[in-house]
Structure 1
Amino acid sequence: MTPQPTTTPHRLTGVQWVICATAALGFAFDIYSLLVLPLIVRPALMDVAKVKPGTPEFNYWVGLLFYIPAVAGGIFGLIGGYLTDRLGRRRILVWSILLYAFSALASGFATSASTLLILRCTTFIGVSVEFVAAVAWLAELFPDAQQREAVLGYTQAFSSVGGLMISGAYYLAVTYAGSLPAINGGHEAWRYTLISGIIPAIPLMIIRPLLPESPVWQEKKSRGTLKRPSFAELFRPEYRKTTLVTALMFACSYGAAFGAIQHIPRIVPGLPQVVHLARAAQEQAVSKVQFLQEMGGLLGRFLLAFLAVRIVSRRRLLRVFQVPGLFLVPLVFFYPAVHSLSMVHVGIFLAGLLTVAQFSFWGNYLPRVYPTHLRGTGESFAANIGGRMIGTSAALLTTQLANVMTGSTPFTKLAYSASTVALLVYAVGFLSSFWLPEPQRDELPE
């Protein structure tokens, strides 16, 4: 249900602003670290693996780089959710951000595809744990229902700011790579882009002493009343439906992003308006498309945050984005992505809006359906098993389907494959929403 404010929420204190800033920074750079891959995978594999785009070997490595880190993130992210309930929200949040930041730094110096794959795994693990810890931490630090919904919604919107930042960072790296210090004897833009992921570690080490632990978790821990989290408890009758439906729907949200939208940087170079450009100009065109997609995602997240305190039904709120996405996202990849760069600019903006908003929905929804001792564990099952393990497998499905899809070029085959996968996951997500449980009250379950 929509929070029904009975009192006016207090203004945020200085410490609460620091908390929001920390969460926003974490959300921004976890997406920054994830969305760098669609931008750099093509030049990185051409550099370290010496494979040609569009070949089966190239698609094989792309599939591995998209999916294997997601599996690692899913497994260790699930463990991280458990540790969030056992050891505290703040501690796990801080270490998860440091893990993905330093992994991003190291990946910029990779000299082989296998090394890059390993470091992408550790990056993904940090990101997977960060989301769960940050959502539980924020939800419990803001007990007022209306304020909590707003804080969760607007801080998660900074995930799309991270997407804008990575688009800008890649554009700058492509443009000025020749002026930067050489790495492994070259000036490859993808390396400098990856290295920039170290940025969030710097302010975090300064403000860490100011960050409080969740008072709800801390009080239960101090009194000895905090129950031990259990994965088996997620499948008890009172939580089973919630656990399974949210995992499936989270998987569909991720499936739309990884199975379609994140392939657009590899589709754009094949467009008639781009294919004959020099490589640097092609990458700049890709960066602009990525920027527009992130602008759409940013607007979608803010729209979700605005509607979250105004629409009563959580199902209805989600369908605001699911229903138009069911028709529009597959269409973008079926026609504009094959024929027109200008149409792609408009289409990918709308596709980003409708798809990315759903990620913020889960950050607002999940804390309201699990009790304190199970909150991190329940969130991590939906986000990491459903989203990051099952949902991201859509990336592998898309790349393998592209090998057998009809089309005159590898770019066309990939676009048609992405369209097919987008239609599938959007349809399954919409149908599943009819079984999504509605939270019973505004307050978080104890």
Structure 2
Amino acid sequence: MRTTEKLAGIIDRIGFGRAHKLILLLVIGGVFFDVIEQNAVGVVGPVLRQDWGLSSGQIGFINSVTFFCMCAGGILAGMMADRFGRRPILMFNLLIYSVGALACALAPNYEWLLVFRGIVGLGLGGELATAITMLAEFSPTKHRASAVSALNVAGGGLGNFAAPLYGVLVLGLIAPAIGAGDDAWRWVFGLLVLPVVLMGVFRRYLPETPRYLLATGQIAECNRTLTILQSGRLVARSEKIEVVEYLTDKGDITLRDRAPIRLREIFEKPWRRRTVAVSTTYFMASAGQISILTLMPVILVSQGFSIVAGVGYTAVMQAGSLAGALTAVLLNARLKRKTVIAIGTLGAMLSAIAFGMFTSSTASVLALGALFQFFILILNTTLWTWLPELYPTRIRGFGTGTAKSIGMMGAVVMTPIAGMIFDAAGLTAIFVTLACLYLIALIAAMFGPETAGKSLEELSEQPA
């Protein structure tokens, strides 16, 4: 038996215990606030449009800069995580994000806000890619899909739902109470730094993943992490514990297994087909999701709702995001990945068409908007689960970060285009465009491998 297969068996026997749950909470806590920050432009968009005289296209471009830098951050963080470890890069990206968020709160003009949102994007992209990789590697096969899916429950589900509520709290209650006036939007960015810094303090208890430690030949540290997982108690790295020797040597881990990453590697056989399939699916999905998240408050305000009401109605619609993410946890634990992706893409496509055609009242706007978000989150949660299953440990961070970043380029490209489509052709045209994007996503996903129920090691040795 290969050493990697032996480790997979040990991880599966330990199961998903108390230590895993604590790790999950520490990782998803940061992602929760990341997603609120990611959605902050949509929250403050109507305010910036009034105060700075920005167009829908300019607001979309702020998000394009953010997501372009998220793409760069995901790729760079993936490479660094494969080189230096998942844990230190997760902490580093939290620092980058915090500095950028504070700078956004102090931005003197539109141009500097673009620069500072770029810094935020670098941290966000790196954080998300590293978090997905880390949770997949910690989890036993039986619980991997649920653990990674739970990451998007906190992020795409609770985070998307909480973002507009947070906007209502700051813009509707806190800002007027402190007399913020035209600077109310700055508090939306600035206050998010506080919980993220607190999360960084607790993350010092995170261990490194056993799969990464084995892949880099750190057998003693691998045994320490396995002992921690078995014990159910997280400890500081400086604390001495009695370590069980689950693995006694490096076995068949060779220098070839630890070879440096080549940038073109995931676009060559045997990984090329996987990369193209998941990247294309993610590209279309993110193009649709981020476009509508960014523009929804602007769309509602243009239809006569107040700024606070527009943001508040967006929050109601985001309830569908939470329901979708929770549903995806259940579906991914029971169904094949491509089956769940088909449910998400077809549902998003049909509900997008319905939203564009039948939103004649407040009730229909809220109901169809929530339904659209429900299917989007089923799709995106499954994509997060799928990504780290496609690559071996040596390039898992880079592969996950790169494929996710290529996918996120959909938000970079489509968000300003969506703003221009809305300004030129109206609501129906936006949602017909989104339906087409999700149809392409469904077709692309069918070319990827099925990964449900297989260990990461088994998937790495049987490339499609």
TM-score under structure 2 normalisation? 0.83
Q: Is the 8 A contact 2:30 2:196 kept in 1?
A: no
Pick closer, same or farther for the CA change 1:222–1:196 going to 2, 3 Å: same
User: Is 1:352 the counterpart of 2:357 in the alignment?
Assistant: no
Give the distance between the partners of 2:204 and 2:312, measured in 1 at CA.
39
Give the distance between the partners of 1:97 and 1:42, measured in 2 at CA.
28
- Cα offset for 1:307? 1.0
Residue of 50, 53, 70 corresponding to 2:53? 50
Structure 2 residue identity aligned to 1:28: F
SS of corresponding position for 2:260? coil
User: Is 1:230 the counterpart of 2:225 in the alignment?
Assistant: no
Q: Is the 8 A contact 1:32 1:162 kept in 2?
A: yes
- Cα offset for 1:40? 0.6
Structure 1 residue identity aligned to 2:198: P
Pick closer, same or farther for the CA change 1:39–1:209 going to 2, 3 Å: closer
Deviations 1:368-390 (A, max 9, x none): 1100011111111221122x213
Deviations 1:137-177 (A, max 9, x none): 111112x2112222111232001212222222211112221
Structure 2 residue identity aligned to 1:119: F
Residue of 214, 219, 228 corresponding to 2:209? 214
- Cα offset for 1:178? 2.0
Question: How many residues are treated as equivalent by the alignment?
Answer: 410
Give the distance between the partners of 1:356 and 1:330, measured in 2 at CA.
17
- Cα offset for 1:439? 2.5
- Cα offset for 1:421? 2.0
Overall identity of the aligned pairs, in %: 19
Q: For residue 100 of structure 1, what is the aligned residue in structure 2?
A: 97
Unpaired runs of 5+ residues, structure 2, are 1-10, 219-254
Give the distance between the partners of 1:169 and 1:434, measured in 2 at CA.
38
Structure 2 residue identity aligned to 1:331: A
Q: For residue 23 of structure 1, what is the aligned residue in structure 2?
A: 27
- Cα offset for 1:30? 1.5
Residue of 316, 339, 351 corresponding to 1:316? 339
Pick closer, same or farther for the CA change 1:404–1:187 going to 2, 3 Å: closer
- Cα offset for 1:8? 7.9
Give the distance between the partners of 1:287 and 1:244, measured in 2 at CA.
36
Give the distance between the partners of 2:12 and 2:101, measured in 1 at CA.
44
Q: For residue 361 of structure 1, what is the aligned residue in structure 2?
A: 382
Q: For residue 372 of structure 1, what is the aligned residue in structure 2?
A: 393
Q: For residue 409 of structure 1, what is the aligned residue in structure 2?
A: none
Structure 2 residue identity aligned to 1:258: I
User: Is 1:384 the counterpart of 2:379 in the alignment?
Assistant: no
Deviations 1:290-315 (A, max 9, x none): 2123211111111111111111x221
Give the distance between the partners of 2:289 and 2:453, measured in 1 at CA.
31
User: Is 1:36 the counterpart of 2:40 in the alignment?
Assistant: yes
Give the distance between the partners of 1:7 and 1:258, measured in 2 at CA.
36
Give the distance between the partners of 2:370 and 2:423, measured in 1 at CA.
27
- Cα offset for 1:322? 1.4
User: Is 1:192 the counterpart of 2:196 in the alignment?
Assistant: no
Q: For residue 328 of structure 1, what is the aligned residue in structure 2?
A: 351
Unpaired runs of 5+ residues, structure 1, are 1-5, 52-57, 406-412
Q: For residue 71 of structure 1, what is the aligned residue in structure 2?
A: 68
Pick closer, same or farther for the CA change 1:202–1:261 going to 2, 3 Å: closer
Pick closer, same or farther for the CA change 1:9–1:262 going to 2, 3 Å: farther
Pick closer, same or farther for the CA change 1:127–1:141 going to 2, 3 Å: same
- Cα offset for 1:427? 1.4
Deviations 1:382-436 (A, max 9, x none): 21122x213431112212223432xxxxxxx2x2332132122011112223212
SS of corresponding position for 2:259? coil
Q: For residue 417 of structure 1, what is the aligned residue in structure 2?
A: 429
SS of corresponding position for 1:300? helix
SS of corresponding position for 1:301? helix
Pick closer, same or farther for the CA change 1:60–1:264 going to 2, 3 Å: closer
Deviations 1:216-256 (A, max 9, x none): 11122235652322221111121111111111000111011
Structure 2 residue identity aligned to 1:50: G
Give the distance between the partners of 2:56 and 2:200, measured in 1 at CA.
39
TM-score under structure 1 normalisation? 0.86
Deviations 1:41-91 (A, max 9, x none): 2212432x334xxxxxx1331232121222222123212211111111111
Q: Is the 8 A contact 2:94 2:200 kept in 1?
A: no
SS of corresponding position for 1:201? helix
User: Is 1:304 the counterpart of 2:308 in the alignment?
Assistant: no
Q: Is the 8 A contact 1:250 1:391 kept in 2?
A: no
